[in-house]
C-alpha cells in the first residue's frame, strides 16, 4: 500500500511542479519576490497532497532561535522534503545545493531565480571559495544561508562527519550558526516515498555564536544536531 501511495504522490508532486512551472515561467523575468511567493503557493499545494495522500503533516519548533538578520543555518538532512520545506519555514533562505540540481527543469530554473547557491562538489578549493563569496553576499542581504552539513541525505540514526563547507562558512561569515534537528526520515524515504504516516518535526536549536575555532565548532554542531534529531526520531517512532 505504501508503494502505491508513493507512486500517486510522485505523480501529484511532479505533475503539480510541471503545471505550475509552465504557468509561472513569466515570473522568471519578474522581481525575485514574485517567484518566492509563487513557490510558496506551490508548497501549499504540495502540503495538501502530503496530508491527503500520505497522512503526513509537519510542525516547526524553536523559531525564536532564528536571528532577525542574516544567519547561517545548518540542518540535518534525511529527505528531499526539507529541501523544499525551508522555502516556507525560513523568511528568505539562500540554500546551498549541489550544482546538478540547477539544471533540472522548473526546479532548477526557479532555484537560480531565487538566488540559491550552487556548488560543484568536484570543484575543490575553487568551488569552495566561490560558495563562501556567494554566501557572504547573501548573508549581507539579511538572508538565511542554509546548508546541509552532512552533504547528502542520511537515514535516521546515521551521524556521519560533516563536510568542510560548514566550517568554512562559519569562520568566514562571522555570524551565529543555528543548528536544526528534524525527523523527516522516520516518515519519508530519501526521495519522499512513504514509510509511514505521522507528523514531521523541524526544531531550531539555540544558535552557536561566532568566534569558536574549527574543531570546537564542528564538535558542538555535530553533537547538538544529532542529539536533538535522535530525540525527535524516537518521538516519531513511538
Q: DSSP string covering 45-86, please?
A: HHHHHIIIII-EEEEEE-GGGS-SS-EEEEE---SHHHHHHH
Classify residue 198: in a domain, yes or no.
Answer: yes
Classify residue 88: in a domain, yes or no.
Answer: yes
Alpha carbons 99 and 128: distance in angstroms, whole number: 12
Which residue, 96, 84, 100, 106, is CA-closest to 184? 84
Residue 238 has pLDDT above 70, yes or no: no
Host domain of residue 120 = 57-237
Classify residue 13: in a domain, yes or no.
Answer: no
> Residue 67: what pLDDT?
83
> Residue 50: what pLDDT?
97
Confidence tier at 9 by pLDDT (50, 70, 90): very high
Query: Which grid cell sits at 196?
Result: 509511514
Alpha carbons 79 and 77: distance in angstroms, whole number: 6
Classify residue 80: in a domain, yes or no.
Answer: yes
Classify residue 26: in a domain, yes or no.
Answer: no
Classify residue 35: in a domain, yes or no.
Answer: no
Q: In this structure, what is the dihedral angle of CA atoms 238, 50, 91, 176, given to the nearest 10 degrees? A: 30
Q: Using only C-alpha atoms, what is the Rg of the chain? A: 17
Contact by Cβ (8 Å): 204, 144: no
Residue scoring higher pLDDT (120 or 10): 10
The predicted model gives 212-224 an average pLDDT of 97
Classify residue 72: in a domain, yes or no.
Answer: yes
Classify residue 28: in a domain, yes or no.
Answer: no
What is the overall mean pLDDT for the chain? 91
Which residue, 225, 66, 59, 227, is CA-closest to 150? 225
Domain count, the chain: 1
pLDDT digits (tens, 9 = 90+) for 97-146: 888 778 777 888 888 898 888 887 777 778 788 888 888 888 888 899 99
Amino acid at each position: 500500500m505504501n508503494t502505491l501511495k508513493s507512486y500517486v504522490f510522485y505523480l501529484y508532486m511532479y505533475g503539480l511542479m510541471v503545471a505550475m512551472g509552465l504557468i509561472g515561467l513569466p515570473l522568471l523575468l519578474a522581481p525575485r519576490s514574485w517567484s518566492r511567493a509563487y513557490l510558496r503557493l506551490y508548497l501549499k499545494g504540495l502540503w495538501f497532497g502530503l496530508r491527503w495522500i500520505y497522512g503526513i503533516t509537519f510542525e516547526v519548533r524553536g523559531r525564536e532561535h532564528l536571528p532577525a538578520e542574516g544567519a547561517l543555518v545548518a540542518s540535518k538532512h534525511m529527505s528531499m522534503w526539507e529541501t523544499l520545506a525551508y522555502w516556507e519555514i525560513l523568511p528568505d533562505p539562500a540554500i546551498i545545493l549541489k550544482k546538478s540540481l540547477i539544471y533540472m527543469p522548473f526546479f532548477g530554473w526557479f532555484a537560480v531565480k531565487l538566488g540559491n547557491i550552487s556548488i560543484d562538489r568536484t570543484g575543490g578549493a575553487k568551488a569552495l571559495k566561490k560558495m563562501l563569496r556567494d554566501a557572504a553576499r547573501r548573508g549581507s542581504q539579511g538572508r538565511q544561508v542554509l546548508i546541509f552539513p552532512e552533504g547528502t541525505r542520511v537515514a535516521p540514526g546515521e551521524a556521519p562527519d560533516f563536510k568542510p563547507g560548514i566550517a568554512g562558512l562559519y569562520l568566514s561569515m562571522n555570524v551565529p550558526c543555528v543548528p536544526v534537528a528534524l525527523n523527516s526520515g522516520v516518515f519519508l524515504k530519501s526521495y519522499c516515498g512513504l514509510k509511514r504516516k505521522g507528523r514531521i518535526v523541524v526544531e531550531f536549536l539555540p544558535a552557536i555564536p561566532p568566534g569558536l575555532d574549527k574543531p570546537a565548532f564542528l564538535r558542538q554542531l555535530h553533537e547538538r544536531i544529532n542529539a536533538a534529531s535522535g530525540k525527535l526520531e524516537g518521538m516519531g517512532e513511538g
